[in-house]
Structure 1
Amino acid sequence: MDNSIQQNLIVPEDLSNVDLKTRIWTESKMVWKIAFPAMVARVTSFGMIVVTQAFIGHIDKLELAAYALLQSFIVRFINGIVIGMSSATETLCGQAFGARHDHMMGIYLQRSWIVDGVAATILLPLVIFAAPIFRLVLGQDEDVAIAAGNMSLWFIPYVYYLVFSFTIQMYLQAQLKNKVVGWFSAISFVLHILLSWIFVKKLELGTAGAMGALTISTWSTVIGLLVYIFGGWCPNTWKGFTKAAFADILPVVKLSISSGFMICLEIWYNSVIVLAAGYMKNSTTAISAFSLCHNILSWEFMLSFGFLGAACVRVANELGRGNPKAAKFSVEIILSTSIIIGVLFWCSARSHRQAFLSYFTLR
């Protein structure tokens, strides 16, 4: 474990002789130190999906509906499975870091690549055979289903990007190196906007340009993080590739699968609304409209996922150190902070709603 990180890591149990206010302040700083970069990473990475949808919307209405159906139903399903399975990496690496078993973190990362990569490959036919799935199995509009099938192959690199992106994020976040994740994600997001503008607006490459920009931008994040890991910036946790990654892989599989289905159902069940829109009379417009609203809400939801990541890291670190009281205290602080944020946003939304209604009433 990095000595500089370990020296700055003060757990609430070490502050048992000080007042409660100091303990709360210390724990809150530790939580937000993890949460803010995680929020930036989640918001910017999902933002690439939203930006791509925005540029495709300027190309063609049918292409927009096809993208919306693919992204909201199939890609979101795979995304939910992969992010859920990657949470196993977060748990295992967080406990290893807390217990100072630094060498195991690199092994857990490699095991997650194997398990998640196999799972993504098993799910890949959903992307490859999107057209017959939408047309024959789900009974979607013929034109939209064919357009989705033509576009679906562009999502194959994105599926494998999810495997590496999520697992690497969990690995670095567990050892409190999440700032670098936030920076790489933010830079890739800016790059994606620039490339999308060049490919779609200037070069007029159409859907191929928008999807090509998505592929380049997303994989630039993965390549940058891999260079960071392999380049020696994680000397205590990355010791190179090892055969040990293939040993004791069954427990990782069990933990990953259970986590995968749990998170997937939470993320995916709202996508059924987009699928149902395909049965409406004007399905092309309905699918696009529902998907746009859904993606904007999901974009906001990424803030909650970032905060959730901080909670998982703090609890895993403390349990790895054998400090259940510190883990409990951290959960109490995180829950209290979440409730306060939720109430503030609720009050803000309510006041803005009243102002909005008053404005239109006066008009």
Structure 2
Amino acid sequence: MATTALRRYGSQLKKMWEIAGPAMITEISQFSIALVTSAFVGHIGPLQLAAASIVLNVLEEFALGFMLGIGSASETLSGQAVGAEKLYMLGIYMQRSWLLSIATALLLTPIYVLASPIFHTLLGQEKQISELAGRFAVWMVPQLFFFALNFPMQKFLQAQSRVWVLAGISSAVLSVHVLLNWVFVSKLGYGIIGAAVVGDVSWFLLVVAQVVYMVWGSFDSWTGFSTKAFSSFPAFAKLSLASAVLSCLEIWYPTMVILMVGWLENPEIAVAASSICVRVANELGAGNHEAAKLSIAVTICASTVVGVTFSTVVLASKNEFPKLFSSDAEVIREAGNLAYFSAAVIFLDIIMPVLHGVAVGAGWQSQVAVVNIVCYYIVGLPLAAMLGYTFEFGVKGIWSGMVVGCVLQMAFLLFVIHTTNWETEASKSEARMKDWGEISETQPIVGDTEENELEESSFEGRQS
């Protein structure tokens, strides 16, 4: 019995890393684009670093909360469609997600354009930082639309385990991003605006490379643009909005902390210093609740090991890693003082995506959104404000409150996962695929070839 359990554990661990390994490379590469931008801008000066940080950590995270959330609906359904062997639905889900994401980008554009008065007048940030941040934000508007195209495509590729190609594209673009920043920001001196334009170019290259691969990569799940994208759209939009709320509540939490830090004295220094969804969704779609449950346990254990490792690295290099982002001695010293909080947040940030991946894979977005509100916004932020301002612990007090909120949420989600009936969850997934998989439209909008029509007819016949 013990040998069988160990063999199952090892099998799930292997499956997890086959997907999670390249997925980690993809996520790290894509989110490192902003990290690299901060690093190059930070060596210009503390003011530039503070301005870039407030845009990248507040405004961009605000936008990403919506974009990632909308993409999560596609992620849930695409993963389950693969498990249920309904590959023809993947392209439809992606197109629906594109429509919602582009509409969201259009709605968010005025916020980028009016970033300077929003930061200064509405959010109370220092005037000089707000003005420079506003100029930086305007040049980053194109990235909104690249986000809108990128994240649905990313879920489309991940759901079909095309993860190594996605990892290769993301890594290559990150390398180009570093090179372009070195040339235009460090050597040619185009400053913070040059860094924003380089970011636009890098995200453009990322999107184009994925489109090329998707169109010419021999995908049965992509047969061109179709009117099916508009079918069941209200239900899809409802799930997407629920996913967006969950994502926003999660991502905006540290964003609020950054804003609170910006209200302290000496804000320039304070601000400057401060895939599992696929695995679970695939197993639920196939009705394999035991495999899904086991994969969760395996992934949580593996993530814990990774979290401890990275947290230890941060603590061991607390006086060195800040030098990657700034040459200012005061900024480096303040960042080093926050190393223990950084290590705690890194550990939690590695565990929490696993738990949220379970929520997204199982379709629990609405329920977990309530948990986020309680743990983050009713407990965490008020506690951070009290410790930071009332008891005058400053930045350390604010970060302490944030950590408490994260710990509460992690404890609650672990309890829910442990007590969940996974056989029931698998049945719900099967019912969702039956309800949302029956689509009547057959005519594509673009690429309306006879071959596509025959292919779609075949798919529909197989479904019935």
Task: Give TM-score, length-normalised by structure 1.
Answer: 0.81
Among 233, 241, 249, the residue aligned to 1:257 = 241
The question of 1:193 aligning with 2:178 is answered yes
The question of 1:248 aligning with 2:213 is answered no
Offset at residue 164 of structure 1 (A): 1.7
2:254 matched residue in structure 1: 270
The question of 1:106 aligning with 2:106 is answered no
The question of 1:178 aligning with 2:143 is answered no
Counterpart AA for 2:100: V
Matches within 5 A, 1:191-340: 191-231=176-216, 233-290=217-274, 309=275, 311-340=276-305
- Does structure 1 retain, via aligned residues, the 8 Å contact 2:146–2:207? yes
SS, match of residue 195 in structure 2: helix
Counterpart AA for 1:236: D
Matches within 5 A, 1:41-52: 41-52=26-37
SS, match of residue 263 in structure 2: coil
Among 63, 72, 81, the residue aligned to 1:96 = 81
Among 3, 14, 20, the residue aligned to 1:29 = 14
Offset at residue 154 of structure 1 (A): 1.5
Counterpart AA for 1:287: V
Deviations 1:144-192 (A, max 9, x none): 1111221111121111222222111111011111111110110011100
* Equivalent-residue separation in structure 1 for 2:305 and 2:31 (angstroms): 25
1:147 matched residue in structure 2: 132
Among 94, 100, 112, the residue aligned to 1:127 = 112
Deviations 1:292-314 (A, max 9, x none): xxxxxxxxxxxxxxxxx2x2112
Task: Give TM-score, length-normalised by structure 2.
Answer: 0.64
Counterpart AA for 2:239: L
* Equivalent-residue separation in structure 1 for 2:196 and 2:314 (angstroms): 38
* Gap change, CA 1:278 and 1:338, over 3 Å in 2: closer
Among 75, 82, 86, the residue aligned to 2:71 = 86
The question of 1:66 aligning with 2:51 is answered yes
* Equivalent-residue separation in structure 2 for 1:187 and 1:24 (angstroms): 33
SS, match of residue 122 in structure 1: helix
* Equivalent-residue separation in structure 2 for 1:193 and 1:147 (angstroms): 23
Offset at residue 343 of structure 1 (A): 5.4
* Equivalent-residue separation in structure 1 for 2:212 and 2:315 (angstroms): 47
SS, match of residue 124 in structure 2: coil
Counterpart AA for 2:261: A
* Gap change, CA 1:344 and 1:151, over 3 Å in 2: closer
Among 54, 62, 68, the residue aligned to 2:39 = 54
- Does structure 1 retain, via aligned residues, the 8 Å contact 2:69–2:247? yes
Matches within 5 A, 1:158-169: 158-169=143-154
Deviations 1:97-136 (A, max 9, x none): 1111111100000000011221222222221111111122
* Equivalent-residue separation in structure 1 for 2:296 and 2:261 (angstroms): 40
2:410 matched residue in structure 1: none
* Equivalent-residue separation in structure 1 for 2:107 and 2:121 (angstroms): 21
Counterpart AA for 2:172: I
* Gap change, CA 1:69 and 1:349, over 3 Å in 2: closer
Offset at residue 61 of structure 1 (A): 3.2
* Equivalent-residue separation in structure 2 for 1:186 and 1:59 (angstroms): 26
* Gap change, CA 1:146 and 1:349, over 3 Å in 2: closer
Counterpart AA for 1:260: A
Deviations 1:320-355 (A, max 9, x none): 222222222222322333344445667x569959xx
Stretches of structure 1 lacking an aligned partner (at least 5 in a row): 1-15, 291-308, 354-363
SS, match of residue 19 in structure 1: helix
* Gap change, CA 1:223 and 1:344, over 3 Å in 2: closer
Counterpart AA for 1:211: A
Deviations 1:71-91 (A, max 9, x none): 111111111221122111111
* Equivalent-residue separation in structure 2 for 1:250 and 1:55 (angstroms): 43
SS, match of residue 240 in structure 1: coil
* Equivalent-residue separation in structure 2 for 1:255 and 1:338 (angstroms): 27
Counterpart AA for 1:93: S
Counterpart AA for 2:299: I
Q: Across the two proteins, how many residue pairs are aligned to each other?
A: 317
Counterpart AA for 1:248: S
Offset at residue 32 of structure 1 (A): 0.5
* Gap change, CA 1:343 and 1:151, over 3 Å in 2: closer
SS, match of residue 139 in structure 2: helix
Among 28, 31, 40, the residue aligned to 2:25 = 40
* Equivalent-residue separation in structure 2 for 1:60 and 1:238 (angstroms): 47
- Does structure 1 retain, via aligned residues, the 8 Å contact 2:113–2:137? yes
- Does 97-106 or 271-280 show the bigger shift? 271-280
* Equivalent-residue separation in structure 2 for 1:249 and 1:261 (angstroms): 18
